[in-house]
Amino acid sequence: MMRLFPLYLFANFFLVVFAVSDSFADQTITLKAIAAADEEFRQFYGADWRSHIQRRIKEASEVFATNFNIRFELTDTVEWVSKEVSPNAINDMNELYEDLEDQILSKSDSIVIGFMKQEPKSTTFIGTLGATRGFGCHILVRDFDLTDDKKVELLRKKVVLVHELARIFGAFSVNDPQSVMSFDSLSLGFDHQNRRVIELTRDKVDCEQGAWAIDAILGKTISDIFNEGHAEKAENPILKAWDHLALDEYNSAHWEAFSELVTRCIVADPKNPLGYYSFAATSYDRGLFDDAIFWCNQVIERDRNYQDVQKF
């Protein structure tokens, strides 16, 4: 039986990959941004809420300008009527992030930065202060103090925004306490791995294509950088982004696009079970049980405890 696996994609990886030039330092990239603030945020800061957001984005932009010659230009600030999350929510940030995506649409050339001040309702994610889908165009930050130290909390808010903005370029969590991409970090520096990733993707932010803008060769390079070292719970940013797009393509019955994206995941990191699991689950869903068993065995070879693979 024919497997859902376009082997022709492997041919791309016999191409020679040249080092990226350092010339990016001479080319300023400006990303436009729309800011949205929820009711609690606007009420807390009163008539000054727009200028507060302008200051926050300007401070974050200066960090990226210094490190990568990337600037963020605020083009509009809008009101966001955010949903009221249930007190029993497993992850209130995820619910609010999806609400932001649904209500405040990004433009082809503009990212969306959501500012919220709803207090955490999810006990298991009480310390979560930001949410961003890697290579996506929506960023959500929670304006919430973890301590009574105002100076520390002002710095933390700046760190959280820079951390989340970095994710649109594919940055991932690391253990280096001197990196802004470290959990609980109060540093605005970048570790060498994430610096390399952002240098490679600084001109790839595309609010129409999303992770499609990252081709297979660049994606493998990002995956290799990730596998050099990362925080324990960190997820491979490009694999996660491609897999999310693949699910959208599958739900739209775009089988070839789905297959290409999942194949990219497997080629970028053959040891990661994510891509194999996607083929297993969708084959099972379509009644292709022989294929489902084949891909399920591939998952088990890599991680027999991966998600609910044992159901097959």
pLDDT of residue 107: 75
| CA distance linking residue 86 with residue 122, whole number of Å | 9
Is the model's pLDDT at 97 over the cut of 80? yes
Mean pLDDT score of the chain: 88
> pLDDT for 14-45, tens place per residue?
443 334 444 455 699 999 999 999 999 999 99
> pLDDT for 121-149, tens place per residue?
655 555 578 999 999 999 999 998 888 89
pLDDT of residue 26: 65
pLDDT (average), residues 300-304: 93
Angle formed by the axes of helices 274-285 and 255-268, to 10°? 150
Instruction: Indicate the SS3 state at residue 74.
Output: strand
DSSP state for residue 12 in the 8-state scheme:
G
Instruction: Indicate the SS3 state at residue 301.
Output: helix
* 65-79, 125-139, 263-277, 292-306: the lowest-pLDDT one: 125-139
| CA distance linking residue 266 with residue 278, whole number of Å | 10
> pLDDT for 149-204, tens place per residue?
999 999 999 999 999 999 999 999 999 999 999 988 899 999 999 999 999 999 99
pLDDT (average), residues 251-257: 96
Q: What ranges make up the beta strands (E) of the chain?
A: 29-37, 70-79, 110-116, 130-132, 138-142
pLDDT of residue 238: 98
pLDDT of residue 305: 87
Share of the chain above pLDDT 70, in %: 87
pLDDT of residue 211: 95
Is the model's pLDDT at 75 over the cut of 80? yes
Angle formed by the axes of helices 274-285 and 237-251, to 10°? 10
State which amino acid sits at residue 264: R
| CA distance linking residue 2 with residue 62, whole number of Å | 52
pLDDT of residue 124: 52
State which amino acid sits at residue 155: L
Q: What order do you get walking across the sheet with 138-142 strand by strand? A: 70-79, 29-37, 110-116, 138-142, 130-132
How much is the pTM? 0.88
pLDDT of residue 139: 96
* 40-54, 75-89, 189-203, 206-220: the lowest-pLDDT one: 75-89
Residue 156 half-sphere exposure toward CB, CA atoms < 13 A: 18
pLDDT (average), residues 77-86: 89
pLDDT of residue 252: 96
